Amino acid sequence: MIRFLCFALSLALTICSTAQGQATDVLSDQVQEVVKAYQGQGVQPDDSQPTSPDNVLSTFTLDKGIEVDLVAHEPGVEQPLFLTWDSRGRMWVVEYRQYQYPAGLKVVKYDQYLRAVFDKTPAPPPKGTQGLDRITVLEDTNHDGTFDRSKVVIEGLNIATSVQVGRGGIWVLNPPYLLFYPDADGDDVPDSDPEVHLSGFGLQDTHSVANSLTWGIDGWLYGANGSTTGGTVRSEGTPEGVSFEGQCIWRYHPESKRFEIFAEGGGNTFSVEIDSVGRIFSGTNWGNTRGLHYPQGAYFIKNWGKHGPLTNPHAYGYFEHMKCEGDSRRFAQAFTIYEGGLFDDEFQGSIIAPNSLHNVVWRSKLVPVGSTYRTVDQANLMESSDRWFRPVYAGVGPDGAIYMADWYDTRLSHLSPIDNWHKDSGRLYRVRPQGTSPRYVHGDLHTQSSDQLLQRFDDPNRWVRQRAVLELSWRGDDSITPKLIEMVDDESSIEALWVLHALNKLTPQHIALWVDHDSPHIRRWIVRLCGDDPTKPLPSAVSNALAQAARHERDSQVRVQYASTAKRVDPKTGMAIVANMLHGHDDSNDLHLPMMLWWAVEHQADDWDAIESWLSDDSMWSHPLVRQTILSRLMQRYASTGSSDHFANAARLLAMAPDDKDTLKPLLEGINRAFQGRAVPDLPQVLADAMKTYRDSLGQSGLVLAIRQGDVSSHSKAIAALADRNADAGLRMELASALSERRVDGCVATLLDLATAKTTTNRALQRVAIASLANFDEESVADRLLQSFQSSISNEDDLRATACRTLASRLGWATKLLEQVNQWHVAASDVPPDAVQRMRTFDSSDLSKSLDQAFGKEAEMSGPEKKAMLERMRKSLSATRSSASASAGKVHFDAKCANCHQLFGEGKLVGPALDGYQRSNPMFWLPAIIEPSLEIREGYQSYRALTFDGQVITGMIAQQSPETVTLKLADGLSRILDRDDLEIFEPIPTSLMPEGLLDTFSEQELADLFAYLSRDAK
């Protein structure tokens, strides 16, 4: 039934994707009923009514000292997504009216995340079916601070997310394309059809496509990519393409036509912010954070299961979001840093972060932490009682005011196949200091002289300064070079440096001088610009200057840039930079520098001469950061590929190492990590001997390593130690796991004795032995375990739940378990939901019947009865709200929810923590509880692995690489699986969360539970 309904849903979505919502006749009556009954997840439309534009300002609660103006609204603006300004100070608005389905395409397939496969790739506009997206320009013609002219410049766009103006035309990001509309005379009428500069961005999920096109002050166009689309992006300068899965910050150079990923990972990234000194930030859809700070070339956390691995399989680590002190709710999807000069000094540098989910705009302080930042919330800038207030963009305009685009819709969530967005609404707001009348007074920067533009470098508004930089960069006026040099020397003008670079007037002599400039921002950008084009070799004078300056650099952000540049230049220069950074410095405690240095080394690792030269300095081997962060990863990098050249490098690395335990240990741990979850191949003799020596030095603990490395001679000794009652319990647990992972013959009897408490009274060891038996396809395992359910395998300490998980992993064992359940020898309540879910993945009609008998039929997706239940409970909650008790509700939460979810710091984190959601709204909670499988929160999708010997393992992806995948199991343990051992690896469409949680609740108990869930909700 689920397969049919998923197919029906796919058809329904296909219908929704037809151009302009036109109906088709391909739906059967049954499929139409499914669509009617489908319950969207997240924030869906409700019965609330929009506030009229005349009254909307009365819905806002504002921070002291600010005022808000409504500067545009429907019908003049509809579904605004992105704002930018041209050199005349005019506002350009992207109206995302085609969302959520591209015009002219049909969905032929969907995955469990509602990612689409379309029937074709759309042609670039204006070819193909025209969409409803458009770009509108708003202008203040008399400079009184009010927009009095509006015109549509480009229409017929199809999933257009952002726009920029400059370099002789209009740049439009319309995935899968980046388009350039020539407009030489700037009359807003394109001179021709657009040129395609980039192609290949993904369209699988239009709420996370490429977005936020932004001019970098280095002349590149920057953008973000969301989490659930990938692509292979090609350009004239990058014809081979750059492939990636999921979120990243990318950039494109219009002159060289090169495309590259600037940094990778994060949340569903839908903003790009470049501050006054060129640092890059973005918002996120994660909770308890305001966003990310991106060093060049860095890797960040992501949802590995849903969003795929990093592009670099040897990253071996990642950065987290910036830590936040304050409101932990999700999510700050938009992000800007106020540097407009209109507000007071205390306001300057604040993060302005709209939260469309909770109808609020946060203001936070950016606080340095080493080379990166954390944030501390200040008073909210503004919040609205209007549920329709959905701010999706924030930016600082040419007049120094803050501007926000309000999607203005009762619906927010994309998790519904029905295209019922309120497409004819939208609002734009201006936030200003109380009593001010912001105006842009500088005229058309494009027509001003170079000297006039240089004067703009002193403007208090970042937008004015950076726009002047761009105009000078595009103009190519060499005559200002002496003045620019003087401004860098005497005024520490970062803007002058950027223009010098754009004019190709940054000489090796300037670089050698300015790597020691008094300004850390000048130094950081000199280092960055030296690595800007990795295809061009650096002059020797520049290489030497960089390497020497790296030795005495103290500023942590400049040091991070040195590490970034070290991976972009030639190996000799890169490793010289790394070596000099490590001399006299220990950055081990910095949040970014250790891994940035590792990524620099990793990028150069294939050049053994450079690595050997670096490590020929004996002091490197004893450096704390090298020992803690680099050595083990470098050895893992060489060993993991299995190639003869890399094995040879691993052997050379070992041969170079000083003969002391503290140095050898990380190297040998690196070899061990390279083959976790995989069989160890034949190693070069020097590596094999070193591993044996290392194992021997560990004593009995070395047995675990020997087993994992496939040392057959250690089997009998390990089994004897496992059976030894006097051996250390921790060692016995490690041995049980290792013998199980390697499926060592002859250990099943010993494991069964432990599992049934015949040779131990330690329940932790017993539990490990029970779990370890899952890897052995022997009939006796099920019989012995089930026989012990009424004696030694009790409900205490999770023993019986662990046994059920083991029995659920093989078809024959699962059949025997269900026989016992259906004969009432084992209580159905003793079988944990994840074990039931695991058994439902077997393709066996007999087993399905037994499951239905034991646990009831698997719930149908979105049946009408669910809709009726939701409405009944909604009315009940409304009627009983006044008598609800949060303290009584906590008892119900602890009994029903806390085993998997955390709220107010209490409970387990099997599923997502609940604090950051829209807790005050019953219509957020009810659909998720009544039908949990309709939306499985990203990061909590379960996967099914079927091994070639018939074992089923289920869990959530904790990490993956080309060779292995690590699953986090329901009992909290992790399991590393060799991909070569897997016959099937696929997502499970159902949630671990069982249905029917509320079936036994009285109306009062339901009200109490929801009172606790919504306690102190804002």
Highest mean pLDDT among 40-49, 793-802, 841-850, 892-901: 841-850
In the chain the domains, ranked by start, together with CATH numbers, are 66-90+113-147+159-411+421-433 (2.120.10.30), 863-1014 (2.30.30.100)
Do the Cβ atoms of 515 and 524 come closer than 8 Å? no
Place of tokens 């921790």: 730
Q: How much is the pLDDT for 970? A: 73
Angle subtended at Cα 351 by Cα 348 and Cα 355, rounded to the nearest 5 degrees: 145
User: Quick one: average pLDDT of 927-953?
Assistant: 75
CA 429 – CA 432 distance, rounded (Å): 10
More confident call, 913 vs 632: 632
HEC per residue, 131-190: CCEEEEEEECCCCCCCCCEEEEEEEEECCCCEEEECCCEEEEEECCEEEEEECCCCCCCC
More confident call, 1002 vs 450: 450
Given a cut of 60, whether residue 27 has pLDDT beyond it is no
Given a cut of 90, whether residue 982 has pLDDT beyond it is no
Q: How much is the pLDDT for 187? A: 96
Q: How much is the pLDDT for 923? A: 67
CA 418 – CA 556 distance, rounded (Å): 50
Q: How much is the pLDDT for 16? A: 38
Tell how far CA 1017 is from the center of its chain: 26
Nearest to 414, CA basis, from 227, 185, 271: 227
Q: What are phi and psi of 900, to 5 degrees?
A: -125, -25
CA 933 – CA 39 distance, rounded (Å): 11
pLDDT in tens, 189-232: 999 999 999 999 999 988 899 999 999 999 999 999 999 999 99
User: Quick one: average pLDDT of 780-799?
Assistant: 90
Residues in the chain: 1018
Collapsed DSSP state (helix, strand, coil) of residue 688: helix
More confident call, 181 vs 683: 181
Nearest to 335, CA basis, from 375, 306, 299: 375
User: Quick one: average pLDDT of 582-605?
Assistant: 96
Place of tokens 């494109």: 252
Collapsed DSSP state (helix, strand, coil) of residue 862: coil
Which H or E element spans position 232?
Answer: strand 230-234
Nearest to 703, CA basis, from 749, 735, 742: 735
Given a cut of 50, whether residue 818 has pLDDT beyond it is yes
Q: How much is the pLDDT for 381? A: 98
Residue 224 identity (one-letter amino acid) = A
CA 456 – CA 453 distance, rounded (Å): 5
Residues in contact with 418: Cβ distance below 8 Å, sequence separation at least 6, in sequence order: 12, 16, 35, 38, 40
Given a cut of 70, whether residue 934 has pLDDT beyond it is no
CA 979 – CA 787 distance, rounded (Å): 34
CA 309 – CA 835 distance, rounded (Å): 27
Categorise residue 710: left if φ over 0, alpha if ψ from -120 to 50, beta otherwise. left
Task: Give the least confident one: 637-641, 692-696, 948-952.
Answer: 692-696
Given a cut of 60, whether residue 741 has pLDDT beyond it is yes
CB atoms within 10 A of CB 790: 10
Could you tell me the pLDDT band of residue 11, with boundaries at 50, 70 and 90? very low
Q: How much is the pLDDT for 1018? A: 61
Could you tell me the pLDDT band of residue 906, with boundaries at 50, 70 and 90? confident
Given a cut of 70, whether residue 448 has pLDDT beyond it is yes
User: Quick one: average pLDDT of 627-645?
Assistant: 93
Task: Give the least confident one: 21-25, 105-109, 552-556, 765-769.
Answer: 21-25
More confident call, 921 vs 128: 128
Given a cut of 90, whether residue 1001 has pLDDT beyond it is no
Do the Cβ atoms of 945 and 954 come closer than 8 Å? yes
CA 566 – CA 583 distance, rounded (Å): 15
Could you tell me the pLDDT band of residue 156, with boundaries at 50, 70 and 90? very high
Q: How much is the pLDDT for 862? A: 56
Q: How much is the pLDDT for 34? A: 36
Q: How much is the pLDDT for 892? A: 84
Given a cut of 50, whether residue 759 has pLDDT beyond it is yes
CA 410 – CA 416 distance, rounded (Å): 14
Four-CA torsion 198, 203, 205, 211, nearest 10 degrees: 20
User: Quick one: average pLDDT of 888-901?
Assistant: 81
Given a cut of 50, whether residue 30 has pLDDT beyond it is no
Given a cut of 60, whether residue 9 has pLDDT beyond it is no
Could you tell me the pLDDT band of residue 106, with boundaries at 50, 70 and 90? confident
Q: Among residues of the chain, what percentage have pLDDT more than 70?
A: 91
Q: How much is the pLDDT for 12? A: 36
User: Quick one: average pLDDT of 492-502?
Assistant: 98
Strands 248-252 and 259-264: antiparallel
Four-CA torsion 540, 544, 547, 549, nearest 10 degrees: -130
Record the pTM: 0.82
Angle subtended at Cα 302 by Cα 940 and Cα 328, rounded to the nearest 5 degrees: 75
Could you tell me the pLDDT band of residue 3, with boundaries at 50, 70 and 90? very low
Could you tell me the pLDDT band of residue 21, with boundaries at 50, 70 and 90? very low
User: Quick one: average pLDDT of 637-656?
Assistant: 92
CA 323 – CA 330 distance, rounded (Å): 13
Strands 292-294 and 195-201: unpaired
Do the Cβ atoms of 272 and 280 come closer than 8 Å? yes
Place of tokens 């919040």: 383
Given a cut of 70, whether residue 936 has pLDDT beyond it is no
The strand pairing partners of 66, in sequence order, are: 433
Nearest to 951, CA basis, from 752, 771, 777: 777
CA 981 – CA 914 distance, rounded (Å): 36
Q: How much is the pLDDT for 690? A: 80
Given a cut of 50, whether residue 713 has pLDDT beyond it is yes
Mean pLDDT of all residues in the chain? 88
The strand pairing partners of 72, in sequence order, are: 428
Nearest to 246, CA basis, from 258, 229, 221, 224: 229
User: Quick one: average pLDDT of 868-879?
Assistant: 77
Q: How much is the pLDDT for 594? A: 98
Q: What are phi and psi of 619, to 5 degrees?
A: -65, -20
pLDDT in tens, 388-397: 999 999 999 9
Could you tell me the pLDDT band of residue 706, with boundaries at 50, 70 and 90? confident
Could you tell me the pLDDT band of residue 701, with boundaries at 50, 70 and 90? confident
Highest mean pLDDT among 241-255, 706-720, 950-964: 241-255
pLDDT in tens, 512-549: 999 999 999 999 999 999 999 999 999 999 999 999 99
Q: Among residues of the chain, what percentage have pLDDT more than 90?
A: 63
Given a cut of 70, whether residue 4 has pLDDT beyond it is no
| Prior bond of 354 cis (ω within 30°) | no
Could you tell me the pLDDT band of residue 551, with boundaries at 50, 70 and 90? very high
User: Quick one: average pLDDT of 999-1018?
Assistant: 80
Task: Give the least confident one: 69-73, 577-581, 767-771, 963-967.
Answer: 963-967
Q: How much is the pLDDT for 916? A: 63
CA 319 – CA 299 distance, rounded (Å): 6
Given a cut of 50, whether residue 413 has pLDDT beyond it is yes
